[in-house]
Structures are given as structure tokens and as C-alpha cells.
Amino acid sequence: MSDRLPGEEYRAGRSSGERTDGPELPLPDDAGPIPRVPRDASYWAAPVQRLGAVSDAARSRGLEGKRLMGPQQGFGQLWQRNYRVPLPGVDLSAAQVVGEWKARFGEFWPSGGSFHAPLAGIAPGELAALDVGVGQLVLLSTGVFVLYADETSFTFMTPQGHMFTAWITFAAEEDGGTRTAEVSMLLRAADPVAEVAYLLGAARMEDRFWIATLTNLAAALGAERRPVVTRITCVDRRRQWRRWTNLRHNGGPRTLIHGFRAPRG
């Protein structure tokens, strides 16, 4: 029986006194066991300070050089928004549902917007450009960073210039024998202008957008039609006034220009 400690199996033979046929790897005498690789290691994006080399689609939306913004970096009230739809009649595993969702993400978006998936697909560290129609005239152009992706869920994080500072998670699971699909987000409006817009109607637009997305997903997977259940909680009513300076990253002016210039679709 091996007397090696758990986690030591990847070390070269020198410290265990065994001879190896290949060249011996130099190891300091006091090298301890190599730490175990965390189970979630491949699911998270590598650390980034600023968005670096981006696609043309992302560059045209001003995403190059932007920082990522979590809910704690935003200005407005902190909201937890959950949208959940059962998928009765769908004979796919949760991983298969999420696999379809990742592969065809843009297809499920409501009309009036477009999602430009990264070439490598929805995978940790990838950046996607997107446009969301607001009424008939305005097209919000921005992007999302794939923060996390495993077999049954994936999470986007917003960059500077996005209306929200948010983590948005898409997941599937089994609930009492029925598959369910869910979109859940933790978000703040990025700046005071976005907060006003949120209170004046952007929140309702969020509801319509994600309910339509889940309805489209359910239909595409062949599920019997069921209503989307919405749960909205204000986690923090306080606004983070010191974050008003996020205004300088507000993508509104550039978005409007891009929206008027760029063809939709």
C-alpha cells in the first residue's frame, strides 16, 4: 500500500526515494504536499483587472479596458430578482438543458435585441456583446463577462458602462421530478441616472425580458406551457451615494449613437 499522503501523487519521485526513468524535477527539500485542485477551479474565470483583447463586436460597444462591476460596486438599491419556469414534458437532464441554453443563448432572447456569443461559446472568461431594444428608437449596446460556468449553471457579470452592476445566473435543476429553468440576478443600478430609469420602468422591462426569455426557452425545449414565477426582493434599500461617480462610465450617450447607427438583428 502506498504511504503517500493525499495530494502527493503528482510530485516527482525524489522525495519518496523512488527512482524515475525520466529527468528528475527539481524540488526544494522542504516542498510540502501539492495543494489539491479545488473542485470548482475550472468553472471560474481567471482573474482580470480590465477587459483586454476583445472582439470587434465588443470593441464597438466600448468594452475594451473596462472593469467588471459586481452588485457591491453599484449605486442603486440592491435587488434580488428570480424568474423560474417548470419544464414539464422535457426529458433532458439539468446539464442537457443548460447545454442547450448555452449553445443557443441568443435564440431565446425576445425580439428587439441581439446577443453576440463569444467564438468559444459561453465559457468562463469569455466576453459577449449584446444589444437590448428599449422601445422603438433606442438600442442599449453593452456586454457581459462569463464569470462562472459549470454543467448546470452559468453566471454573467456586467462591465463598466452597463446600466446595472450585476451577477446574473442561469440554471436548471430538478424540482419534484420536473425540470425547471431559472434566471436569478443580484443587481444594483450602476449610477443615479440608471437608478431613475430603473424606478421609472426599466425594472418592469427586466421582468418582461426575462419572462419572455424563459418562455422562449421552454417552448424551444418542447415543454408544456407553464407561467414563469417571479420573485423579487429588495435586499438593500440604501443607495450607495459614493458610487455616483459611476456616471462617468454611463454607456448611454455611446449606446444611443451605436443604436442609431447599427442595424438591428
Partner 1 sequence: MSVTQLETSVRHTDRDVAVIDLKGDVTAASEAALMDAYREASRDEPRGIALNFSDLDYMNSGGIGLLVTLLVRAKRAHQQVTAFGLSDHYRQIFELTRIDEVIGVHPDERHALDAARLGARVR
Residue number, 188 or 258, with CB nearest to partner 1: 188
Residue number, 243 or 258, with CB nearest to partner 1: 243
DSSP H or E stretch at residue 115: strand 114-116
Residue number, 44 or 115, with CB nearest to partner 1: 44
Contact between 123 and 146 under an 8 Å Cβ cutoff? The reply is yes
Q: Which residue has the cell 455616483?
A: 244
Smallest gap from residue 264 Cβ to partner 1 (A)? 31
Smallest gap from residue 163 Cβ to partner 1 (A)? 18
Smallest gap from residue 34 Cβ to partner 1 (A)? 12
Q: How many Å apart are CA 112 and CA 259, to the nearest integer?
A: 11
As beta bridge partners, residue 172 has 181
Smallest gap from residue 167 Cβ to partner 1 (A)? 6
Smallest gap from residue 137 Cβ to partner 1 (A)? 34
What residues make contact with partner 1 under the rule CB under 8 A? 35, 38-41, 43-48, 68-73, 78, 80, 147-148, 150-153, 155, 157, 167, 169, 184, 186, 235-236
Reference 79, options 149, 167, 144; nearest CA is: 167
Task: Supply the DSSP symbol for 89.
Answer: T
Q: Which cell numbers in the block locate residue 97? A: 438543458
Reference 173, options 189, 153, 190; nearest CA is: 153
Residue number, 39 or 248, with CB nearest to partner 1: 39
Residue number, 79 or 198, with CB nearest to partner 1: 79
Contact between 221 and 85 under an 8 Å Cβ cutoff? The reply is no
